């Protein structure tokens, strides 16, 4: 069949079919006049490519998977495809957490805007937003204050136990490594201080909030400093081993 016929049957535009051919995802023969010619297998191949893309696989991954699919061994396709989908599911959950945290930031910003005074004069420290280098607000679930305005030490007396087990614990470890594994780190009293790019703040806040729900003995303190974010993580002596596993050198 000609390219126009394949485009009609598959629902894939001709421009995309040409791109797939250039990328090595689709094969085409040539007629004597130089027109592209495709067999019936091209329809199934395009359906597989479309299904893989719907699952979030990149074209590079599709290219790696196609030879396995063509071999006809279902078990091999399953073995190759499952870890790819699991990885993308984990990435999607991380993005969802980042988005949820960002939505919370936006709602808090709206609440603060609604509470600002309406006046003709210029904004000052009394009515303006905190500068970008300000630490995370005490309203954040990552920083606990007692009634006297001092930072709480509840993490010191929290039970050293994590509710995550098995694969869930391994997945959480991998999430932390993606966000802070390449950051500069140094020891501090009771824990570790990590420095990473500031654009990871929303993801780190969301993940730290989730971490405290399963491991309340961790103490998280964040400080935005222009282009970087400083993350301090502390734990009591009994939790030092898990702290080291997740964040590197611990106290």
Average pLDDT over residues 44-56: 88
> Which pLDDT score is estimated for 3?
92
- In this prediction, residue 147 carries a pLDDT of 37
Sorted by sequence, the CB contacts under 8 Å of residue 195 that are 6+ apart come out as 183, 184, 185, 228, 229, 230, 231
Closest C-alpha among 174, 173, 179, 219 to residue 199: 179
Integer Cα distance of 41 and 29 in angstroms: 13
Alpha carbon 185 to its chain centroid, in Å, reads 21
Q: Report the alpha-carbon distance of residue 196 to residue 202 in Å, rounded.
A: 12
- pLDDT value at residue 22: 84
**Distant-in-sequence contacts of 63-66, Cβ < 8 A, 24+ apart:** 63/23, 63/24, 63/25, 66/25
The strand pairing partners of 192, in sequence order, are 187, 233
pTM > 0.75: no
Least confident of 93-97, 122-126, 207-211, 220-224: 122-126
Q: Express each pLDDT in 110-150 by its tens digit.
A: 777 777 777 677 766 655 544 443 444 433 434 443 333 44
Domains of the chain, start order: 3-72 (1.10.1660.10), 154-247 (no CATH)
Lowest mean pLDDT among 19-23, 61-65, 136-140, 224-228: 136-140
Selection from 36-50, 172-186, 205-219 with the highest mean pLDDT:
36-50
How many Å apart are CA 60 and CA 58, to the nearest integer?
5
How does residue 175 score in pLDDT terms, banded at 50, 70 and 90? confident
97 compared with 149, residue with greater pLDDT? 97
- How many CB atoms lie under 10 A from the CB of residue 142? 20
Q: Which of 170, 183, 174 has its CA nearest to residue 230?
A: 183
DSSP symbol at 124: -
Per this entry, what is the length of the chain?
Answer: 251
- pLDDT > 90 fraction of the chain, expressed in percent and rounded: 16
CA distance 46 to 63: 12
- pLDDT for res 47: 92
Taking the C-alpha atoms of residue 238 and residue 183, their distance in angstroms, rounded to an integer, is 25
Per-residue pLDDT, 240: 83
Distance in angstroms (rounded) separating the CA atoms of residues 168 and 104: 25
Residue 230 has pLDDT above 70, yes or no: yes
d(CA 251, CA 235): 8
- Check residue 249 and give its pLDDT: 53
Write the CA distances from 93 to 19, 109, 117, 171, integer angstroms: 31, 24, 39, 11
Give the pLDDT score at 195.
93
Q: Which residue in the block uniquely carries the two structure tokens 């303006």?
A: 128
């Amino acid at each position: 069949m000609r390219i126009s016929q394949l485009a009609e049957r598959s629902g894939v535009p001709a421009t995309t079919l040409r791109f797939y051919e250039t990328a090595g995802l689709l094969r085409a023969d040539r007629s004597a006049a130089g027109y592209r010619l495709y067999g019936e297998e091209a329809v199934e191949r395009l359906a597989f490519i479309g299904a893989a893309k719907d699952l979030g696989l990149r074209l590079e991954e599709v290219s790696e998977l196609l030879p396995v699919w063509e071999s006809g061994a279902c078990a091999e396709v399953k073995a190759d495809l499952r870890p790819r989908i699991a990885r993308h599911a984990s990435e999607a959950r991380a993005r969802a957490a980042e988005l949820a945290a960002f939505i919370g930031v936006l709602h808090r910003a709206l609440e603060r805007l609604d509470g600002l005074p309406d006046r003709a004069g210029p904004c000052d420290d009394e009515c303006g937003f905190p500068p970008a280098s300000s630490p995370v607000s005490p309203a954040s679930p990552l920083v606990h204050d007692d009634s006297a305005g001092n930072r709480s030490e509840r993490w010191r007396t929290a039970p050293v136990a994590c509710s995550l087990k098995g694969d869930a614990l391994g997945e959480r470890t991998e999430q932390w490594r993606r966000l802070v594994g390449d950051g500069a780190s140094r020891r501090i009293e009771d824990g570790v201080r990590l420095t990473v790019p500031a654009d990871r703040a929303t993801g780190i806040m969301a993940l730290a909030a989730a971490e405290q729900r399963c491991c309340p003995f961790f103490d998280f303190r964040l400080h935005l400093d222009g282009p970087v974010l400083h993350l301090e993580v502390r734990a009591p002596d009994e939790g030092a081993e898990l702290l080291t596993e997740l964040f590197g050198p611990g106290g």
